[in-house]
Structure 1
Amino acid sequence: MNLFAFICSNEKPLELYFFIDPLCPDCFALEPVIKKMQFEYGHYFSLTYVLSGNISNLNNINRKLIQPNQRNKYEKTIKRGQISCDDLEAKVNLSSPYIASIAVKAAELQGKRAGIRFLKKLQEYIYLKNENIGKLEILIQCAEEALLDVEEFMRDIHSTSTSHAFQCDLKITNEMAVTETPTIVFFNNKIEEEGLKLSGVNTYEIYIEVMTEILGERPVSHPLPPLLKFVQYNQFVSTRDIAFTYNLPHLQVELEMKKLLLQQQVERIHTSYGTFWKYVGQKKSF
């Protein structure tokens, strides 16, 4: 199965806009939920990342999860429209607090898949390696490890096109009245109606309930891929992420991953966020 094509293909009934700030810990915390949604229900929705910059309060890291009985608290949001960015005058550069978002937009100019790879690598460097992504050499290292054309990336990070693309994301954020990250806005692709906006970090079931409300029926989940395929697709994943995705005890995940470790398919990395597994086996195209 071509996993990337499965997750990113078009012609799906739902369209999700995922508003993030690479520097927001809650956005990083939501990634396991996004991964599981993509593998189980990726045949129902396309996912677009929107870089929103310094919107969330980064001191509010310990936000509690919303309980299932609070699921009706998601908001109606504005209707979609053709968003023009020609009227924006903001200028951003490498000294901007938005540098992480600008770098992701530069990577996206090499394709959606490249942009996602770079974003994941950037989050890895920020949250797991505690690196300062304001340093140009760190951005270059992330670009290299994300398999980007580094020379093109460096040209693009300074370009007007990248600045304009990021300004467009800020415009979309404003048009959809998004005031915090992470936020996901759900749209039905086949019906011109308002979307549903869900902010913060919520339980997995709440996101499925929102999909159910928009679709008018409970979506049917797709079988999860074999564990090695999951790790190979994500390249870098935690024991916690695997346990959450496959609904397995942590000890069982550790045992399964140790088997892959002995087969030299993965490398184990200990961090302050827990144990992570890096895929080091044969590279394949998804």
Structure 2
Amino acid sequence: MTENSTIFKKPLEIYTFIDPLCPECWALEPILKKLQMYYCKYFKIRYLIGGKLSCCNEKKSHKDMAQAWERTATKTGMSCDGDIWLENPISTPFAASIAIKAAELQGKQIGIRYLRKLRELLFLDKQNISKEEILIECAESVQGLDLEEFKKDLHSEGAIKTLQFDLKTTKEMGIKLFPTIVVFNDNADDDGLLVTGLYDYDVYVKVLEEMLGETPIASAPVFLEDFLKHYSFVASKEIAVTYDLTIDEVEKEMKKLVLRQIVERVPVKYGTFWRYIGD
């Protein structure tokens, strides 16, 4: 999870193409967390906003969208509340996409933190992230983000150009489904290796191995408390995937931390999230 690029130039870059309103992209988060914990010394991640965003496809009714989200939540274990499409439907993903890029102008890590918070508001709290007040509320909760700068960048040419670059890259690489990752190595003559959709963790490790040309050496796992402190708000599913635990085993471990006042339980429509409150 910790990175030190001054010591070791990372040989791989993972382009992660997402639709910010796509529940399957949200469900990729546990896999990415596990990859980062064990193999972050080998790669850096870059999030790109995909092209024609499927979540607002006019062919699907709001009822269809709600049912699709509920199915995804049940199948993947990453909660997403489809009732938003019946109670507070989103008209366009454009404003949210610009906001993600506006945050990213302050640094890639701040952009990633903003994307995470935005998806929590959307999938867990049923907030309509096409509204500017919600985008600003999200920014207020992101550590290290300059709020006034963000407000300016929400309407800046810089944020629009960054989004246009993402859309152009998505189109040029022929990405049509989300999530899709493309892994590049540091050999300019090699094509990237493309993986579309959601797969088991071991598939992604094999992709790293193929692009490295050798078997990557896994780092030691960090202590659970350190993991929780680093991410501050995580799903039982994310803990289960990262630490190879069942949901019941996660529950037992987290109950101990609740008693020690390290975390607090946050029930959601499907499953449970945990907020770090230690320190």
Asked if these proteins are the same fold (TM beyond 0.5), I'd say yes
AA paired with 2:113? Answer: R
Would you say 1:41 and 2:39 are equivalent positions? yes
AA paired with 1:139? Answer: L
Query: CA 1:171/1:53 → structure 2, altered by over 3 Å: closer, same or farther?
Result: closer
Would you say 1:162 and 2:162 are equivalent positions? no
1:176 maps to 173
1:242 maps to 239
1:186 maps to 183
Q: Distance in 2 between matches of 1:209 and 1:176?
A: 22
AA paired with 1:230? Answer: F
SS in structure 2 at match of 1:43: helix
Q: Distance in 1 between matches of 2:261 and 2:185?
A: 43
AA paired with 1:38? Answer: Q
Q: Distance in 2 between matches of 1:8 and 1:144?
A: 31
Q: How far did 1:10 drift?
A: 6.4
Q: How far did 1:56 drift?
A: 3.9
1:103 maps to 99
1:125 maps to 121
1 or 2, which has the higher helix percentage? Answer: 2
Percent identical: 47
Would you say 1:217 and 2:214 are equivalent positions? yes
Q: How far did 1:121 drift?
A: 0.2
2:30 maps to 32
1:152 maps to 149
Would you say 1:137 and 2:133 are equivalent positions? yes
Q: How far did 1:7 drift?
A: 8.9
The answer to whether the 8 A contact 2:49-2:167 is kept is: yes
Q: How far did 1:117 drift?
A: 0.8
The answer to whether the 8 A contact 1:7-1:46 is kept is: no
Q: Distance in 2 between matches of 1:191 and 1:112?
A: 23
1:94-144 Cα offsets, whole Å, 9 max, x none, are x85321111100001111111111000001000011111122221111101
1:35-94 Cα offsets, whole Å, 9 max, x none, are 10111111111111111154446756658x9xxxxxxxxxxxxxxxxxxxxxxxxxxxxx
Q: Distance in 1 between matches of 2:159 and 2:262?
A: 36
AA paired with 1:206? Answer: V
The answer to whether the 8 A contact 1:14-1:188 is kept is: yes
SS in structure 1 at match of 2:28: helix
Provide structure 2 residue ranges, at least 5 long, that are not aligned to the other structure: 57-64, 76-90
The answer to whether the 8 A contact 1:102-1:157 is kept is: yes
- Counterpart mapping for 1:268-279 below 5 A: 268-279=265-276
Q: Distance in 2 between matches of 1:7 and 1:254?
A: 35
1:266 maps to 263
Q: Distance in 1 between matches of 2:133 and 2:232?
A: 22
AA paired with 2:242? Answer: T
1:130-160 Cα offsets, whole Å, 9 max, x none, are 1111222211111011132211111100011
SS in structure 2 at match of 1:42: helix
The answer to whether the 8 A contact 2:94-2:130 is kept is: no
SS in structure 1 at match of 2:10: coil
Q: Distance in 1 between matches of 2:154 and 2:8?
A: 28
Q: Distance in 2 between matches of 1:53 and 1:236?
A: 29
Number of residue pairs aligned between Structure 1 and Structure 2 = 251
Q: TM-score with structure 2 length normalisation? A: 0.83
1:50 maps to 48
The answer to whether the 8 A contact 1:54-1:98 is kept is: no
Q: How far did 1:218 drift?
A: 2.0
